[in-house]
Amino acid sequence: MNITVNRLPDLTWNRLGMNYGVIRDADNLLRQAAGIDTTQEGLEAGVSYRRIGREEAQRILDAAPAQVPEKIVAGKLPIYHAQRFATGLGGDYDAFVAGLGLDTELLEVAAGERPEAPVLWHVDFYDSSCAVTQQIIHVGKNASLTLIMDYSSAPEACGFAGISTKVILEDGARLHLSKVQMLGRGYLHTDDLGASLGAGADLIFNQLELGGEDVYVGAQVEQIGDKSRFTSRLAYLTRKKGSIDITYNAVQRGRKTESDMSFDGVLYDSAKKIWRGTIDFRNGSAGSVGHENENVLMLSEDAENKSMPLILCEEEDVEGQHGSSIGRLADDILFYFGTRGIDERAAEEMMVDARIGTVTREIPDAGVRERIGSFLQRTV
Amino acid sequence: MAEQLLQVRNLNVSVEDTELLHGVSLDVNAGETHVLMGPNGAGKSTLGYTLMGNPAYHVTGGSIVFDGEDITGLSADKRAQRGMFLSFQTPLEVPGLTLSAFLLSAMRQKTGKPVKIFAFQKELEETMRLLHMDPSFAERDLNVGLSGGEKKKAEILQLLMLRPKFAILDETDSGLDVDAVRTVSAGIEEYQKKRGGALLVITHSTRILEALSVDYTHVLVKGRLVYTGGPELVDDINEHGFERFEAASAAEKKQ
């Protein structure tokens, strides 16, 4: 059995091999996968954590700012999601996780609560583990939360680490979410995000994908409420024969919504990367603005990069922008560094640090930032 | 006798089969300040970039000797490690890399030894104060979001911190207001006097030279060094322009 993930919202030439990603031989994963213990620190008053069953999880998702499932129609019409609560990796992956029959972890912030300290959410994957964890983060009306989730294992460990996160931000809610992946070099890693934003809600999403062998990352943010905002920063390192398959969709439905997504990556050796970034202005999104920017530093002739930026418009009064920079270190940068005595190899190392640094510095916890630094020193 | 630092002999330089510098020779002794002037397109920046080892500029003839060593074939980083520096007309922006981290790496590369952080930070703060720079700029991304003036100050900050023996300043005063020129000049004066550095100042204007003690002025026209004079030549050019040098160059070419 294969799982199709990261579908492009609008098909392109099939021969490009970019319309979707495939997780192969998922039968094994389905047979072996189990839940895993997670730890949470910094749960202040107004923030609650508990495990819930499937029915309760579904009730919470059903009460989220309204998402409308859309029929998948191949051909002239866009291929929209068919999920009740849309996610980046998509319906097949959602069904796979549901098939495991695991509890959902629910983190809730009561309306109006604004705890200052971040919640630290840690998942430690042991060697050869095949584990999945799913959670709902529900931030009530006018509440806010800073949440840092990190996934790690021993450096040489291998296995499967699956994450599924659904975020509900009620009107006026704010979530600063950071996800940091520091898994061993043999891991298959999937990280799925779906988010539903009410009016004036604000989602800031930082994601670091630093370890693992084959990585699938998807995010779908439904900006349903007027003036909702979505800001994301993803940075990744892909080495040796590793691969990363990324899809981010900002679906802007409300009026005067804003999205700003940036993607910074480094490809070494014979690494492969596919990125699909979509700004999707739907009917009713008049006055909305969307930006996406991609930078890929390719440190090997054998590395393979595929990029698919996409801006879809059903409204005229919108502004969408895409920018990209892909390739080796530019000659002018090498010369500038050279005039300061910095050779090509050191310049490359500094630029790798810089790419990761743009996201690392946004993570509001010194301990996590330190662990990222140690991980990079150990692995790069 | 003054210590010889830079000797350029009969330098010919090409970019994509077009020769831009023709037989340029230049001597700079330790601690001296040389000014390189010339009309637009004369090749001033080309000479600066070639001296610093930009691979886009191909030396097709002649030699560059620095501190007794022929560096004609050396890469820019090797030249910088031997004590050369170039202040850019348009410094690059590098998101994600702070000014202090960049400087720290440059200092480590130059010395090959660990840098004492406390002493580094103290010197950085003092130097930023001299240049009237906001101390928070040290932890901001290199040149990102800085005004033209702040970028030039950041270049001079690097000059002062890295303490090269010889620095090329490429149009450091262009696009700066009067106050910024004064501040940048003070930084260059500090380099010149207290750190004993030699300079090649590439400029169109004379504002930046007011505070500096100039030893020689060179005029470059159409890729040739056509005249070398003393500091008084700066005022002369300021008053009369480059016309007579351009005419002389054209006459020489006819012959």
Structure-derived torsion over alpha carbons of residues A98, A100, A103, A104, reported in degrees to the nearest 10: -40
Predicted pLDDT of residue A215:
97
Q: How far apart are CA B117 and CA B105, in angstroms?
A: 12
Q: Would the CB atoms of B77 and A331 count as touching at under 8 Å?
A: no
Give me the number of domains chain A comprises.
1
Closest CA to A292 of A318, A261, A320, A269: A261
Which pLDDT score is estimated for B174? 82
Chain B interface mutation, best of A266, A340, A349, A351, highest count of B Cβ atoms under 10 Å? A340
A336 located within any domain:
no
- Residue A350 has its nearest CB partner, among B76, B92, B97, at B97
Q: Cα A149 vs. chain centroid, distance in angstroms?
A: 12
Residue B241 has a pLDDT of 85
The answer, yes or no, to whether residue B249 has pLDDT greater than 80, is no
Contact between A215 and A238 (Cβ < 8 Å) = yes
| B112 at A interface, C-beta within 8 A | no
Q: Does residue A246 lie in a domain region?
A: yes
d(CA A39, CA A115): 18
Chains A, B: CB pairs < 8 Å: 75
Find where tokens 């270190």 sit: A329
Q: Work out whether the CA dihedral B141, B144, B150, B153 comes out positive or negative.
A: positive
* Amino acid letter, A45: A
Residues of B in contact with A264 (CB under 8 A): 96
What is the distance between the alpha carbons of residues B137 and B123, in angstroms, rounded to a whole number?
15
Minimal Cβ distance to B52: which of A339, A342, A354: A339
CB A191 within 8 A of CB A163: yes
Which one, of A205, A212, A223, A150, lies nearest residue A185 by Cα? A212
Nearest CA in chain A to B89: A336
B80 in contact with chain A, both atoms CB, cutoff 8 A: yes
Chain A: residue whose CA lies nearest to B91? A336
Q: Do B86 and A353 count as a contact with CB atoms less than 8 A apart?
A: no
> Is A365 part of any domain?
no
Q: What is the DSSP letter of B79?
A: H
Q: What is the chain B residue with the closest CA to A343?
A: B77
Task: Confirm or reject contact between B251 and chain A (CB < 8 A).
Answer: no
Query: Structural domain of residue A184, as residue ranges?
Result: 3-329
Confidence of residue A379 (pLDDT cuts 50, 70, 90): confident
What confidence tier does A79 reach under pLDDT thresholds 50, 70, 90? low
**In chain A, what percentage of residues exceed pLDDT 70?**
97
Q: Is the pLDDT score of A144 beyond 60? A: yes
* Domain annotation covers residue A352: no
Question: Are B156 and B184 within 8 A, CB to CB?
Answer: yes
Would residue A75 count as lying in a domain?
A: yes
Query: Closest Cα to residue A87, out of A161, A187, A9?
Result: A9
Say what the pLDDT of residue A300 is.
Answer: 92
Asked if the structure places residue A345 within a domain, the reply is: no
The pLDDT of residue A242 is above 90 = yes
| Best residue of A234, A293, A339 to probe chain B, by most B CBs closer than 10 Å | A339
What pLDDT does residue B240 have? 85
- A271 belongs to a structural domain: yes
- Cβ-based neighbours of B164, under 8 Å, separated by 6 or more: B80, B83, B84, B85, B197
* Closest CB from B85, B94, B96 relative to A339: B85
Closest CB to B76 among A339, A350, A357: A339
Question: Does the domain formed by B4-254 have CATH 3.90.1150.10?
Answer: no
Mean pLDDT within A202-210: 98
DSSP B137: G
* Beta-carbon contacts of residue A67 (< 8 Å; ≥ 6 apart): A84, A85, A86, A196, A222, A224
Neighboring chain A residues of B54 at a CB cutoff of 8 Å? 335
In this complex, do A340 and B102 lie within 8 Å of one another by their Cβ atoms? Answer: yes
Which of the two residues, A12 and A223, has the higher pLDDT score?
Answer: A223
Region A41-51: mean pLDDT is: 94
Detail the DSSP E strand segments found in chain A: 3-5, 21-23, 38-41, 47-52, 104-109, 119-124, 130-139, 144-152, 158-169, 174-182, 186-197, 202-209, 214-223, 229-238, 243-252, 258-267, 272-281, 288-298, 304-313, 318-327
User: Is pLDDT above 60 for A176?
Assistant: yes
Domain boundaries, chain B: 4-254
User: Is residue A346 one of the residues assigned to a domain?
Assistant: no
Instruction: Please answer whether residues A228 and A198 qualify as being in contact, where contact means their C-beta atoms are separated by less than 8 angstroms.
Output: yes
